C-alpha cells in the first residue's frame, strides 16, 4: 500500500522568511496530493492541492510543487506570518484499481512555528 513520508517534523522560521515542507510517496498510482493545515485544537483544513498532471500550483503565499518521477511533492509558504503557525499534513490518494479509488494516506505532519 501507499506510504507517505514527511520532513521535517518540526520547523521554526522567522516572520517574513519562507518555509518548505517535503513529502515523498511510494505508490506510482497516486495522482492527487492535498495539503492540510491544523491549528491547535481544530480540525485539519485543506489549504491547497495538486493533481499529478500539474507540476506546480500557487495560491497567494502558498505553492505546491510535484515531481512525479521522484515521487515527491513540497509545500512552499512565502512571507510567513505568525498565523501560519500550525501543523501541516500532506496526503496522497489515487484512482485505484477498482471503481472506488484509493484512500487518502497522510504524512505524520510538520509543526511549523513562525517566530515574530
Partner 1 sequence: NAGVTQTPKFQVLKTGQSMTLQCAQDMNHEYMSWYRQDPGMGLRLIHYSVGAGITDQGEVPNGYNVSRSTTEDFPLRLLSAAPSQTSVYFCASSYRLGVFSPLHFGNGTRLTVT
Site of interaction with partner 1 (CB under 8 A): 31-32, 34, 36, 42-46, 49, 51, 89, 91, 93-96, 100-109
The C-alpha atoms of residue 9 and residue 28 are separated, in whole angstroms, by 24
The C-alpha atoms of residue 37 and residue 87 are separated, in whole angstroms, by 6
Work out how close the CB of 6 gets to partner 1 at its nearest, in angstroms, rounded to a whole number. Answer: 8
First to last CA, the chain: 41
Residue with cell 510538520: 110
Q: Which is nearer to partner 1, 43 or 83 (CB)?
A: 43
Q: Which is nearer to partner 1, 15 or 59 (CB)?
A: 59
Q: Which is nearer to partner 1, 45 or 81 (CB)?
A: 45
Work out how close the CB of 16 gets to partner 1 at its nearest, in angstroms, rounded to a whole number. Answer: 29
The C-alpha atoms of residue 96 and residue 39 are separated, in whole angstroms, by 31
CA-closest candidate to residue 91, choices 43, 40, 49, 41 = 49
Work out how close the CB of 76 gets to partner 1 at its nearest, in angstroms, rounded to a whole number. Answer: 19
Q: Which is nearer to partner 1, 32 or 72 (CB)?
A: 32
The C-alpha atoms of residue 71 and residue 85 are separated, in whole angstroms, by 27
Work out how close the CB of 51 gets to partner 1 at its nearest, in angstroms, rounded to a whole number. Answer: 5
Amino acid at each position: 500500500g501507499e506510504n507517505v513520508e514527511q520532513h521535517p517534523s518540526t520547523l521554526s522560521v522567522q516572520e517574513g522568511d519562507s518555509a518548505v515542507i517535503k513529502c515523498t510517496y511510494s505508490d506510482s498510482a497516486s495522482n492527487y496530493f492535498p495539503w492540510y493545515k491544523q491549528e491547535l485544537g481544530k480540525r485539519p483544513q485543506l489549504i491547497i492541492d495538486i493533481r499529478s498532471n500539474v507540476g506546480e500550483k500557487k495560491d497567494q503565499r502558498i505553492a505546491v510543487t510535484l515531481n512525479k518521477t521522484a515521487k515527491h511533492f513540497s509545500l512552499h509558504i512565502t512571507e510567513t506570518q505568525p498565523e501560519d503557525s500550525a501543523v501541516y499534513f500532506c496526503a496522497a490518494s489515487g484512482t485505484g484499481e477498482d471503481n472506488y479509488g484509493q484512500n487518502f494516506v497522510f504524512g505524520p505532519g510538520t509543526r511549523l512555528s513562525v517566530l515574530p
